[in-house]
A and B are shown apart, each in its own frame.
Chain A
Amino acid sequence: MLRTISETELTERCKQGDKKAFQQLYEQYAGLLMAVCIRYSGEREAAQDILHDGFLKIFRSFAQFSYRGEGSLRAWLIRIMVNESLEFLRRKKQLSQTVLMENLPDTIPDSEERDWEQIPQSQLMRFIEELPTGYRTVFNLYVLEEKSHKEIAEILGITERTSSSQLYRAKSLLMKKINDYIKKEQ
């Protein structure tokens, strides 16, 4: 078993190319990053490949990472995985797909009063996965990566308007799914 070391020490050792440190880095972050790959790609099989490629990039370009206090390592790792995932979607040309409006709910279901906190994270994850790629990408970037619509517009080459309307739709779809789920559970 690996002994636990501080994030700074781990960073330092990874920079030196220490294999043990890479392994520890992997063990510490693989789960979190796997979730990133899944929620972007929406495909669990593909997510494994993305994770693999992303980690290879992480290991090989670790020298370029500079530690900027707590959380910076995590942020850097996530960013590489997000890039890797977006690259995957781009290769698949999924980002260019126009999103169909048909499965949009007419009204935004009101899920506020319902307690969706009890829905397990894995179920919420499934909901994200089920979103159409365009919605999902914007949703991920906005909600989980905390990007602004301006930034998202630049990343995806869309307008800010598109970004915000896709987010709105993503959110509506998710709320609907959450509500349906709660209804079914009851």
Chain B
Amino acid sequence: MKEEQDKWIEKFRNRMNNYSESVPGHIWEQLDAELERPKGVPFYTRWRMVAAVAALLAVPSLTIWFIHSPSADYTENVSEQISRIAGDKLSVHQDPARMPDLIKERIKPSLPVPLSSSPMAVAAVSSENETTEGIVIEALQKKEAQEKMEAMEKKDTRQENKTGTSEGGKRIEDTPVRKVRNSGYSFTASPAGHRDKSWEVGISVGNVPASVSNTSPGYKSLPRPKSQSGEMMSDPSYSSFPVDDMDYNHVMSPVNGNSEAYVLNQILSNNVWNTVVSDIKHRMPITVGASVRLHLDERWACETGLTYTFLSSDIRAGGDSYYYETEQQLHYVGIPVKVSYNVWESNRFSFYISAGGTVEKCVSGKTKNVYTTGDEKNMSGSEDLKVKPLQWSVSSAVGAQFKLSRQIGIYAEPGVAYYFNDGSEVQTIRKEHPFNFNLQVGVRFSY
């Protein structure tokens, strides 16, 4: 009887083993379209968004700066000086063209920004502000799928913006105070010429003041060595079908004597009827770097260097007592290239805007797994994780530098960066939040 049964089953198996069904054509068409569509935003939109967000960040700061600009204070000071020098003959509001040459010369270097440009600049930037915001909104509306996420990011950026500007405001308030203390000579700002082709080297540390965590149903997995999970979805080989040793692709590293497949299986089978949740937490990235800055002229400078970035993420997936935890650590080395433009400079302070791009290569990656089956914890050793594609990003920042001495200056650069999808399946904070606010602080040594 048993044998007969097996024979029947065998017969059935052989009959149906290679059976194919016809597949409606629209399925491929759909898949084709989904493969065609880049996972993120179209390239041109990305650039526009980067530009827009950079402008969103830079413009309000500049606006505030123009409004509270020390140059406004100077105007009064200078006017007073003029009045004093020229005596009653010259009124404060007199046409500068008719001022004696001596006075004009005294005024000129004291006004780093032409007076007349201030209101216009304010008007220009505020209207620009509106249009860039328009662009962002327009861009947002275009992307249906990512709408929610981007909207959140936009909000983030705005919030960051607010803090950015208030900081900016404070920074600027400091300036006139110093100016007053240093009195007259401090007005001889930005001596032209002496900066030509000068070098600066610097070290910096930066981070994205954000970590991301989310919870979602099902088993999610960080990429695994020699095997990578799909993008934000349950790993097909893990989700429920147990692993048979014959064609199982993952490395079976023994964990406390149990095969990894075995403990995973336990987790899967014990959660079959449970609600399964995955928590992914991407920790705050940390970057340190060294840089070289070459001043092309009084205003323009280009900067390059070397950065090191550490990204780490944790995941916990499964039920209450049967679950697995994965820790992912990635080390990147990158080369940034930036161009900066000095907006304003005094002998102590300089404010600049910068924009550029960075290419980063993951030089080392590790994952570690801990499987908890009831009371038992099974640990697998750490395994190497390779991320082959390069990580490209563009960034824009506003910077403020304070010179401690002739040679040494400290600076802070709040900015935004956009990380392009590297096309790998590795989950990082940069995939989750391609747009990021970041803050870089550092020291520069001038030669």
Is A72's CB under 8 angstroms from B247's CB?
yes
Is B249's CB under 8 angstroms from A65's CB?
yes
* A155-B28 Cα distance, complex, nearest whole Å: 30
Of A38, A83, A121, A142, which contacts B15 at CB under 8 A?
A121
Is B21's CB under 8 angstroms from A82's CB?
no
Is B239's CB under 8 angstroms from A83's CB?
yes
Residues of A within 8 A of B423 (CB): 17
Of A34, A35, A75, A96, which contacts B247 at CB under 8 A?
A75
Spot the interface stretch: B5-13, B103-111, B333-341: B5-13
Is A64's CB under 8 angstroms from B239's CB?
no
A-side interface mostly: helix
* A65-B425 Cα distance, complex, nearest whole Å: 13
In the complex, whether A177 has a CB less than 8 A from a CB of chain B is: no
* A61-B127 Cα distance, complex, nearest whole Å: 47
Is A57's CB under 8 angstroms from B236's CB?
yes
Is B27's CB under 8 angstroms from A51's CB?
yes
Is B13's CB under 8 angstroms from A144's CB?
yes
Residues of B within 8 A of A111 (CB): 8
Residues of A within 8 A of B11 (CB): 117
In the complex, whether B446 has a CB less than 8 A from a CB of chain A is: no
In the complex, whether A131 has a CB less than 8 A from a CB of chain B is: no
Contact residues on A (Cβ < 8 Å of other chain), bracket: 35 or more
In the complex, whether A161 has a CB less than 8 A from a CB of chain B is: no
Query: Could you give, for residues 3-28 of chain A, a 1 whenever the CB lies within 8 Å of some chain B CB and a 0 otherwise?
Result: 00000000000000101001100110
In the complex, whether A151 has a CB less than 8 A from a CB of chain B is: yes
Is B239's CB under 8 angstroms from A32's CB?
no
* A28-B237 Cα distance, complex, nearest whole Å: 21
Is B15's CB under 8 angstroms from A34's CB?
no
In the complex, whether A80 has a CB less than 8 A from a CB of chain B is: yes
In the complex, whether B186 has a CB less than 8 A from a CB of chain A is: no
Query: Could you give, for residues 140-155 of chain A, a 1 whenever the CB lies within 8 Å of some chain B CB and a 0 otherwise?
Result: 0011101100010111
Given A34-B21, A155-B269: A125 and B8 interface contact (C-beta under 8 Å)? no
Given A30-B28, A171-B8: A64 and B227 interface contact (C-beta under 8 Å)? yes
Is B236's CB under 8 angstroms from A142's CB?
no
Residues in B1-58 with C-beta less than 8 Å from chain A: 4-5, 8-9, 11-13, 15-24, 27-28, 30-32, 34-36
Given A31-B22, A34-B23: A19 and B35 interface contact (C-beta under 8 Å)? yes
Is B16's CB under 8 angstroms from A125's CB?
yes
Residues of B within 8 A of A143 (CB): 9, 12-13, 16
- With both beta carbons as reference points, the residue of chain B lying nearest to A49 in the complex is identified as B27
* A184-B101 Cα distance, complex, nearest whole Å: 116
* A151-B268 Cα distance, complex, nearest whole Å: 12
* A64-B223 Cα distance, complex, nearest whole Å: 9
Residues in B223-267 with C-beta less than 8 Å from chain A: 224, 226-231, 233-237, 239-242, 244, 246-247, 249-250, 265
Residues of B within 8 A of A146 (CB): 13
Is A31's CB under 8 angstroms from B23's CB?
yes
* A155-B272 Cα distance, complex, nearest whole Å: 8
* A32-B22 Cα distance, complex, nearest whole Å: 9
- Give 11 CB contacts A-B under 8 Å: A23-B32, A32-B18, A48-B23, A59-B35, A63-B227, A63-B424, A79-B241, A79-B247, A83-B237, A125-B19, A151-B242
A residues contacting B by CB (< 8 A) are 17, 19, 22-23, 26-27, 30-32, 34-35, 38-39, 47-48, 51-52, 54-61, 63-66, 68, 71-72, 75-76, 79-80, 82-84, 86-87, 90, 95-96, 111-112, 117, 121, 124-125, 128, 142-144, 146-147, 151, 153-157, 171, 174-175
B residues contacting A by CB (< 8 A) are 4-5, 8-9, 11-13, 15-24, 27-28, 30-32, 34-36, 224, 226-231, 233-237, 239-242, 244, 246-247, 249-250, 265, 268-270, 272-273, 423-425
Known: A82-B241, A125-B21, A156-B272. 19 other contacts (CB 8 A): A17-B423, A26-B31, A27-B28, A35-B21, A48-B23, A61-B236, A61-B425, A63-B227, A63-B425, A75-B247, A79-B237, A79-B247, A80-B237, A87-B239, A125-B19, A143-B13, A155-B272, A171-B5, A171-B9
